[in-house]
Amino acid sequence: MRIALLSDVHGNLPAFRSVLAAIENESTDEVWCLGDLVGYGAEPDACVQLARDTCAVCLAGNHDLVVTKEIPISDFSSSAAAAALWTREHISAESLEFLRGRPASDPEREPGLYHGSPRDPVWEYVLSTWQADECIDLMSSRVAAIGHSHVALWFGRAPSGEVDGGQAGDDDEADLSAGEWLINPGSVGQPRDGDPRAAWLLLDTEAWTARWHRVEYPIDEAARAIEEAGLPSVLAARLYSGQ
């Protein structure tokens, strides 16, 4: 199966649309989302509707869970909390119903799916090889996909036990046919790896390859929507730097 993996849309409709348009140009079987459809961006309902229309699998991320009041808002930074409160006030009942009760992980799939990590599906940012090593120990699948960090990443543990990993750039490809792997597609709506372009990953589970992609999108449109909604201006500014 050829799966388009994406994560961390965060209410950024222009980025989401651009990624889905790019996916349409590839031979993909399904689109899977690793969570955080909402948060930070100003168009939560439209992003939820797009996910309903296009994603065969959709996890919940921490920003989805705080909007549905399944986790406390006190756990969030000031700008994230402000965005969560705004989203709670503006999101539709239909969108809330879609988000409510969604799991933060689906470990029985191949690949296993986690918003955060196998150790903590809601909150853990897997950014180092030692974290990846410990998380791989907890996986029931040989390959797993994670989101949450907003950074396109790969971590692999060879049969010898050696763990390696790093950031993945546009058009980078990994051979996943041997060993154990954690792969992160990066963020659609708010990348934090220094590249402001929207990110996604194409996973082929027959050849066991992963290829990372970046997509240009109209950042001005997304930033303007944030500013017009009265959300914190930093949420618009950071879109331009990919931080």
Q: How confident is the model over 83-116, as pLDDT tens digits? A: 999 999 999 999 999 999 899 999 999 999 999 9
Rounded to whole angstroms, the Cα distance separating 203 from 233 reads 35
pLDDT digits 0-9 by tens, 113-152: 999 999 999 999 999 999 999 999 999 999 999 999 999 9
For the segment 192-232, what is each residue's pLDDT rounded down to a tens digit? 999 999 999 999 999 999 999 999 999 999 999 999 999 99
Pairing of strands 30-33, 143-146: unpaired
CATH of the domain at 179: 3.60.21.10
Reported as a single tens digit per residue, the pLDDT across 24-51 is 999 999 999 999 999 999 999 999 999 9
- How many structural domains is the chain composed of? 1
Per residue in 44-73, pLDDT (tens digit) is 999 999 999 999 999 999 999 999 999 999
- Model confidence pLDDT, tens digit, residues 167-197: 999 999 999 999 999 999 999 999 999 999 9
Domain region containing 110 = 2-241
Q: Which residue has the tokens 């990066």?
A: 186
The residues, any chain, with a CB within 8 Å of residue 215's CB and separated by 6 or more, are 15, 18, 19, 21, 22, 197, 198, 199, 200
Place of tokens 């060993």: 179
Q: Which amino acid is at 152?
A: A
